[in-house]
Amino acid sequence: MKLYFATGNLNKFAEVGKVLQEYGIELEQVDMKGDEIQAYSVLAVVEDSAKKIAKKFSKPFIVEDASLQVDVLSTFPGPYSSYVFKTIGPAGILKLMEGQDDRQAEFHSAMAYGEKGKLIKRFVGIAEGTISKEIRGEEGFGFDPIFIPNGSKKTFAEMTMDEKNKFSHRGKAARVLGEWLSRRT
């Protein structure tokens, strides 16, 4: 089947596309993303986005949003990770974490699937890990250079895309989506 991904982020598109390929799903990019709402959970954000997109787009589509949540920073940067990345960036997070022993963090990916004018299903993938002590790696995007998923010693930015997809929040959400779509058809 062909699935449309409403995103302007080519990194996300590539990551999700690679996972869904394994399920025989062909991913195509579509520029449908309107205003996102402010909400504490990315799931609420994508749910709202999916409802808006569904009103004007009848083909099968997904929309995704992700957040980095640092435990000792009360889940900051959370749903505004993209804005925080563009302003204080990974270096800002490391500065906020100076002297902090508890470096636990989570990456969340929320996806919403819609078709025929309706939001049909939501998926969440979570990667648990820690914030590194310095910026490491050049791969990936966003806060990848400072996040080390549990089970690895590398940051996401030190991994190939396939390796990152094994550990990552987005890879996990995409696999659940892929399995659900496979069972459904």
Binding site for a copy of itself (CB under 8 A): 35-40, 45, 48, 73-80, 83-84, 86-88, 92, 95-96, 98
In the complex with a copy of itself, the residue whose CB is nearer, 64 or 158, is 64
Q: What is the CA radius of gyration of the chain?
A: 16
For the record, the structure tokens of 18 come out as: 């690679």
Least distance to a copy of itself, CB of residue 127, Å: 20
Look up tokens 């995007």; give the residue: 141
Question: Max alpha carbon distance in the chain (Å)?
Answer: 52
Which residues are 125's β-sheet partners? 109
Least distance to a copy of itself, CB of residue 174, Å: 23
In the complex with a copy of itself, the residue whose CB is nearer, 60 or 89, is 89
In the complex with a copy of itself, the residue whose CB is nearer, 100 or 152, is 100
Per the annotation, the verdict on 65 as an active-site residue is yes
**Cβ atoms of 83 and 24 closer than 8 Å:** no
Catalytic site residue from 35, 48, 65, 101: 65
Least distance to a copy of itself, CB of residue 59, Å: 25
Measured CA to CA, the distance from residue 147 to residue 132 in angstroms comes to 6
Q: Specify the 3-state DSSP secondary structure of 172.
A: helix
Which active-site residues does the annotation give? 65
